[in-house]
Amino acid sequence: MSPVTLDTIKSFTVEELRPYRVSVSEHTALAHDLGVAGHDGKEFMEAYASHFGVELGAFDWLEYFGPEAGGNPLGLVSYLYSRFIRGIPARQLVGLPEITLGHLVLCANLGKWQPPN
């Protein structure tokens, strides 16, 4: 089997998620840059694992994508204020570990999930 490349992962990600106005690179994070959250993250990782033959093992989608969003209006207002008025990057606000496309390449070539460092 030939090694999985970044271009292969990028093509898969674009096909699955159809990100708009975002250029993807090895540093693109699923949750932080592409907005993948909750059950959508679980479904993406299951499709990724199936497509690339990756054993997810003890992968916990809640740890990386959080629970399905509820409807807390105050939390939304606080997030929007911090993100767009104060200019704080989403990575600092969300508090979830990052899964980047580069990390997906690594795991696809290993054939098993490995938590990011």
pLDDT value at position 67?
A: 73
Domain 6-68+96-110 of CATH type 1.10.1200.10: yes
Q: What is the pLDDT of residues 53-100, one digit of tens each?
A: 999 998 998 888 877 665 566 665 666 666 678 776 655 556 678 899
pLDDT value at position 70?
A: 59
The domain spans of the chain are 6-68+96-110
User: What residue spans of the chain are helical by DSSP H?
Assistant: 6-17, 30-34, 38-52, 61-65, 73-80, 90-94, 101-110
Query: What average pLDDT score do residues 26-54 get?
Result: 93
Q: How far is the C-alpha of 113 from the C-alpha of 106, rounded, in Å?
A: 9
Q: Which among 13, 45, 41 has a CA at the least distance from the CA of 113? A: 45
Higher pLDDT, 65 or 48: 48
Q: What is the pLDDT of residues 2-28, one digit of tens each?
A: 899 999 999 999 999 987 777 889 999
- DSSP symbol at 113: -
